[in-house]
Amino acid sequence: MTKPEPFRAQARTLYVVATPLGNLRDVTLRALDVLGSADVVAAEDTRVTAVLLRHYGIATRPLAVHELNEARRAAHIVDLLHAGKSVALVSDAGTPAVSDPGARLVAAVRAAGLPVVPIPGANAAVAAVSAAGLAAERFVFLGFLPSAAKARRLLLASVARLPFALVIYEAPHRVGATVTRLVEALGGERNFIVAREITKKFETITRLPLAEAPTWFAAEANRERGEFVLIVDAPGAAPADAGSDASAAETDRWLQALVEELPPARAARVAAAATGVPRDVLYARALALKPGASDLK
């Protein structure tokens, strides 16, 4: 088998490049190809990106594109692209424009009719979900919650009863207060996963009932240090059971038959009574089995 040729950044193209969350080995070969061949590397924090570039022997000096100057820099980068340059966009860690700067730049480049190419790789939310062992089959990504109390309360109220896991980013100075707000808004019965410092030296991924989360954080000061992904599993979701494949298949057969005759909400209620599986979990599954169905009771 022949060795694949290195990928080279093309002129007049913006590349959205995912970079490591912490461990510098978590970078793709294609990302290194783009960073090494692009004319410009647009970075959220040039000091952080310079560490990655130096580690891999890339001499390009990064250009700062962050929350405060993104609108102005977007116009400049569009001009560079029109002039035939190639640009790689990176954030401090993970995938740009996902709770990080970059979306306005991408929108400006698309509005100018120029190509935008994703270079996929590390993402904290997906990494945390993959190691969480969720019962929910779907999740809603909320990013960072609003800092204003009313806006935060309204957002959590709007998603509290969704039959999905909730995935939240949080900073160390807010995480203690945030878990308290989550208990108040969502109740304490749901399963909670805290993923801290993913891929870094002090990575921890802990699962516990949501009601216990404030006490868990308060028990040790180090637990409030680092970068966090907080996950609240779906309402009524039970931990996954390795021996549950047969019962899950039986439940699906119940639902498949019921949704042919009943709206999803009623089908879920009947199946819950018959199987003991939480209604919220069954309702989400019924919707998947009968997409576009009416939600009549």
| Domains of the chain: residue spans and CATH | 14-122 (3.40.1010.10), 125-232 (3.30.950.10), 245-289 (no CATH)
Q: What is the mean pLDDT of each run of 10 residues along the chain (297 residues)?
A: 86 98 97 98 97 97 95 96 98 95 97 98 97 94 95 95 96 95 94 96 94 92 94 77 51 80 84 71 71 49
| Residue 177 to residues 137, 171, 182, Cα–Cα distance (Å) | 28, 11, 9
Whether residue 85 contacts residue 11, with contact meaning beta carbons closer than 8 Å, is answered with yes
Identify the pLDDT of residue 103: 96
Count of CB atoms situated within 10 Å of the CB of 137: 14
Return d(Cα 74, Cα 107) in angstroms, integer.
9
The residue count for the chain: 297
Contacts 24+ apart (CB under 8 A), 244-248: 247/275
Whether residue 119 contacts residue 30, with contact meaning beta carbons closer than 8 Å, is answered with yes
Q: Read off the tokens for 296.
A: 């009549």
Residues 6+ apart with CB under 8 A from 105: 14, 42, 65, 70, 73, 74, 77, 89, 97
Burial class of residue 28, CB neighbours in 10 A (0-12, 13-18, 19+): middle
Q: Read off the tokens for 183.
A: 């208990």
Identify the pLDDT of residue 64: 97
Identify the pLDDT of residue 244: 43
Identify the pLDDT of residue 241: 43
Residues 6+ apart with CB under 8 A from 138: 163, 164, 165, 284
Identify the pLDDT of residue 245: 45
Model pTM score: 0.78
| Residue 91 to residues 7, 177, 197, 208, 229, Cα–Cα distance (Å) | 21, 26, 17, 31, 17
Identify the pLDDT of residue 290: 65
Distance from first CA to last CA of the chain, Å, rounded? Answer: 59
